[in-house]
Amino acid sequence: MKMAKYFKFFEIAYLIIAIVFIVETVLRWNSDRNKAYIFMAFAVMAVFMYFFRKKYRKKFENHEKK
């Protein structure tokens, strides 16, 4: 069960990273549109990683229960 706590920590970390990238996107939208697009892409990737890690953690927990 200890590993599941680490997995959950990294899930939350990916959400925090996504929020930071979204804020950077909004702040740079009018001044530097190219960097804003890059930050937006990283935010989307971080959200994707959150859901991927969440699915992986659930699979790991179900495997431990068996």
Q: What is residue 61's predicted lDDT score, i.e. its pLDDT?
A: 82
pLDDT at 1 (0 to 100): 57
Q: Any idea where the domains of the chain sit in the sequence? A: 8-65
Q: Which two tokens stand for residue 33?
A: 């549109």
Instruction: Note down pLDDT in tens along the chain; length 66 residues.
Output: 577 778 889 899 999 999 999 999 999 999 999 999 999 999 999 999 999 999 988 888 888 777
Give the three-class secondary structure for 18. Answer: helix
Measured distance CA(24)–CA(44) in Å, rounded: 13
Question: Given this model, what pLDDT does residue 38 score?
Answer: 97
Q: What is the pLDDT of residue 55?
A: 92
